[in-house]
Amino acid sequence: MSNSDLTELTASRARVLLDKREISSVDLTKALLNKISDIDNSIKSFVTVTSDLAIKQAEKADKRIKENKIDGLTGIPVQIKDNICTSGVKTTCSSKMLENFVPPYNATIVDKLYDSGAILLGKGNLDEFAMGSSTENSYFYPTKNPWDMMRVPGGSSGGPAASVSSNQVIASLGSDTGGSIRQPASLCGVVGLKPTYGLVSRYGLIAFASSLDQIGPITKDVTDSALLLNTISGYDSKDATSINLKIPDYCKYLKEDLSGMKIAIPKDYFGDDIDSGVKKVVYEAIEVLKNLGASIEEISLSVMQQFALAVYYIIAPSEASANLSRYDGVKYGFSDRLNSEDLMETLYKTRQNGFGSEVKRRIMLGTYALSSGYYDAYYLKAQEAKRMIKSEYEDTFKKYDAIITPTSPTVAFKIGEKSSNPVQMYLNDVLTIPANIAGIPAISIPSGFSEGLPVGMQIISSRLREDTIFNIAYAYERATNWNKFKPNFDKLKV
């Protein structure tokens, strides 16, 4: 098999070939490392490439396969977003603050991936501390969209989405606080799943907004999404919000029949603020679902449409302001002590010069919303609105199995187009935020193109109903094959 054939493999296809000994994990890993060195100078989707570690892990995986000790991801090379701790491998959050931070421990999902025999190719670029929707807030460099190098890949998991889209990795792991897996997946034409809050351990995910953060897979197709979720989900005593339940084999929900499936289309999420090209694609996708047997009804979700964005931009920064108070220039990370006369000055200067502008803006917003005199006006009202949003979802899911919306209001936008206007940037998340607020699962899958750029459809279901999401997503993918379209790689060569 040629190098380019190897890099095109999905995890499920690679699994078959590895198990039949038709390919080796070392060959697969080397092909991907070659691809990374060929094209990532221009895409910039990695912060760190772990070539030596990857080869060593691949050799071990090949040995394991020979001994028939095969698990779901044995020998499959993946990338991990650089806000997920990897023992002995730099974990920077794409921030100057953690530029040289080497975690002494693995996140639980990293242990699970390694135990399964997955190979770490490296760490994916992100908006600093996962705050952003374009990966332009990375301290190191913005990541480019493989479909158009003048455009952003979305964010904050822009590195993971761009690497999967350009076949530099088989799959990647991202984190999603307000859309950070789904929106870049949509903009890069790949599959991105935000699981139910608590289904995947957050231990070792560097905290941004703890009540909203969730780790999930970014993959080339829906089958791989289920395959990765099989490995990373499950109870973890180290995460107080981890749900204790038996994890099913998610691959068994990959079915092509949608008869009996009731799907709701919220008209509030197809308004004037959504690009007409995006709406057209998603309406066509809904027709496909109808033809597959699903019943479709229009509904209204006016509460979340009205409040979700404001709720998110109060709650997430509030939690961020507390979570990021640990960066003090003392224990680890950047420290401006040499330019400071005393401990207090070190603290102020470290945070002034170690954080980028978006991170500071959110810490300021959160500190304000939690401060005396404003707590009642902002934070408490946001919590109440969060309750209202959750109950609007619960009412909807009494009657319907799933909700369909576009994932992002636009296709990938130009680098620099929105970076000077924070509010405009925040509006990117309007369709993805509600699922985080309610803690429910949602996926973005490729659904076609507008202006030559990928459009994602979002499928949302109720808590722990990943089965419904996989069923609809898989049936749609099999009927359309939009995931098979790839950016033109010749243009990507340096």
Partner 1 sequence: MSINEDEIIHIAELARIGMSDDDVKSMQVEMSNILEHFEVLKDIIVNKKEPLTLSDDLHSVTREDLDINKSSSTNDLMLSNAPDLQEGFIKIQSVFELQ
Q: List active site positions.
A: 81, 156, 180
- The token duo for 29 is 């890993």
Long-range contacts of 480-485, Cβ-Cβ distance < 8 Å, separation of 24 or more: 480/285, 480/288, 480/447, 480/448, 482/189, 482/445, 482/446, 482/447, 482/448, 482/454, 483/189, 483/190, 483/191, 483/220, 483/221, 483/222, 483/445, 483/446, 485/189, 485/446, 485/449, 485/454
Do residues 92 and 356 lie in contact, with contact meaning Cβ atoms separated by under 8 Å? no
What residues between 225 and 254 interact with partner 1 by CB under 8 A?
A: 237-244
DSSP-assigned beta bridge partners for residue 402: 263, 461
Is the previous residue joined to 225 through a cis bond, with omega within 30 degrees of 0? no
Taking alpha carbons only, the member of 206, 205, 281, 202 closest to residue 243 is 202
Q: Which is nearer to partner 1, 165 or 350 (CB)?
A: 350
Cα separation values, 56 from 20, 30, 51, 75, Å? 21, 11, 9, 11
What residues between 21 and 80 interact with partner 1 by CB under 8 A?
A: none
| 480 touches partner 1 (CB under 8 A) | no
Which of the ranges 39-47, 124-132, 282-290, 361-369 carries the binding residues for partner 1, by CB under 8 A?
361-369
| Among 63, 387, 414, 484, interactor with partner 1 by CB under 8 A | 387
Tell me how far apart the alpha carbons of residues 26 and 32 are, in angstroms, rounded to a whole number. 10
Q: Which is nearer to partner 1, 311 or 457 (CB)?
A: 311
| Among 42, 367, 417, 478, interactor with partner 1 by CB under 8 A | 367
DSSP-assigned beta bridge partners for residue 172: 79, 218
Tell me how far apart the alpha carbons of residues 195 and 206 are, in angstroms, rounded to a whole number. 18
Q: Which is nearer to partner 1, 164 or 324 (CB)?
A: 324
b/e per residue, 433-442, with b = 16+ CB within 10 A? bbbbbbbbbb
Instruction: Build a one-symbol-per-residue string for 92-121: x at contacts with partner 1 by CB under 8 A, - elsewhere.
Output: --------xxx-xx----------------
CB 351 to partner 1: min, Å: 5
Q: Which is nearer to partner 1, 15 or 182 (CB)?
A: 182
Do residues 308 and 437 lie in contact, with contact meaning Cβ atoms separated by under 8 Å? yes
Which of the ranges 3-11, 184-192, 248-256, 323-331 carries the binding residues for partner 1, by CB under 8 A?
323-331
What residues between 437 and 456 interact with partner 1 by CB under 8 A?
A: 438-439
Which of the ranges 122-130, 143-151, 279-287, 356-364 carries the binding residues for partner 1, by CB under 8 A?
356-364
Q: Which is nearer to partner 1, 101 or 449 (CB)?
A: 101
| Among 3, 17, 292, 332, interactor with partner 1 by CB under 8 A | 332
| 423 touches partner 1 (CB under 8 A) | yes
| Among 4, 300, 371, 481, interactor with partner 1 by CB under 8 A | 371
How many residues touch partner 1 under the rule CB under 8 A: the total is: 73
What residues between 250 and 309 interact with partner 1 by CB under 8 A?
A: 306-307, 309
| Among 286, 301, 363, 404, interactor with partner 1 by CB under 8 A | 363
Q: Which is nearer to partner 1, 97 or 228 (CB)?
A: 97
Instruction: Build a one-symbol-per-residue string for 388-417: x at contacts with partner 1 by CB under 8 A, - elsewhere.
Output: x-x---------------------------
3-state secondary structure of 446: strand
The DSSP letter of residue 339 is G
| 361 touches partner 1 (CB under 8 A) | yes
What is the chain's Cα-based Rg? 21
CB 122 to partner 1: min, Å: 20
Cα separation values, 339 from 335, 400, 481, Å? 9, 60, 57
Tell me how far apart the alpha carbons of residues 487 and 159 are, in angstroms, rounded to a whole number. 16
| 313 touches partner 1 (CB under 8 A) | yes
What residues between 1 and 30 interact with partner 1 by CB under 8 A?
A: none
Tell me how far apart the alpha carbons of residues 78 and 410 are, in angstroms, rounded to a whole number. 28
